Amino acid sequence: MLCDICGKKIATVHLTEIINGEVRELHLCEDCALKKSQEVQQQFSLGDILAGLVEEITTPEAREILKCKKCQMTYQEFKKIGRLGCSNCYLAFKKQLSQLLRAIHGSNTHQGKVPPTKFKLKIDIEIEELKKRLKRAIELEEFEEAAKIRDKIKELEKKKNESQ
């Protein structure tokens, strides 16, 4: 398949554009894809995107307050360039960054993945927690819940043994 833009080279990049609700597929060579990428970057700067995600602070006095004491970067400058000036900026703009992370990721706490070497440890911790819940369920004579917990423990122990 040839490039939809130049029509000369083989298309190696396949792009789907949605403009005003209209879906359009583009098949591009590497050169045309690079040009297209540069056009998109010029249209949408990271600062503009970040500015759209976080609430604007309306009063000029409030804007002046939002300044990192260490590097002197203002929150407005951060929104413009999309990068913090120093590690202290995380503290200076904590409230705004928290809102931004929540808007981007749906949460402002990192859930992350556990490295393979720690997988067994994570399962061990979860099994211990379930054993405590099992004991409590038995004491309260909640036998249906205890059976579910017992099954979950067996499932985790099987996973643990398979990963070794």
Q: What is the pLDDT along the chain (164 residues), one digit of tens a residue?
A: 899 989 999 988 888 877 777 888 888 898 888 887 777 665 555 555 555 555 444 445 544 568 899 999 888 888 778 888 999 998 988 888 888 777 777 776 776 665 656 667 788 889 999 999 999 999 999 999 999 999 999 999 888 887 66
| pTM reported for the whole predicted model | 0.36
Task: Give the model's pLDDT for residue 67.
Answer: 87
What integer pLDDT is reported at residue 119 of this predicted model?
A: 66
Query: Which pLDDT belongs to residue 48?
Result: 56
Cβ neighbours for 93, distance < 8 A, ≥ 6 positions apart: 66, 68, 75, 78, 84
Rounded distance between C-alpha atoms, residue 26 and residue 5, angstroms? 8
Q: How far apart are CA 49 and CA 33, in angstroms?
A: 22
Predicted pLDDT of residue 58: 40
CA nearest to 93, candidates 41, 148, 55, 122: 55
Decide: 101 and 108 in contact? Cβ < 8 Å. Answer: yes
pLDDT at residue 10, as a whole number: 92
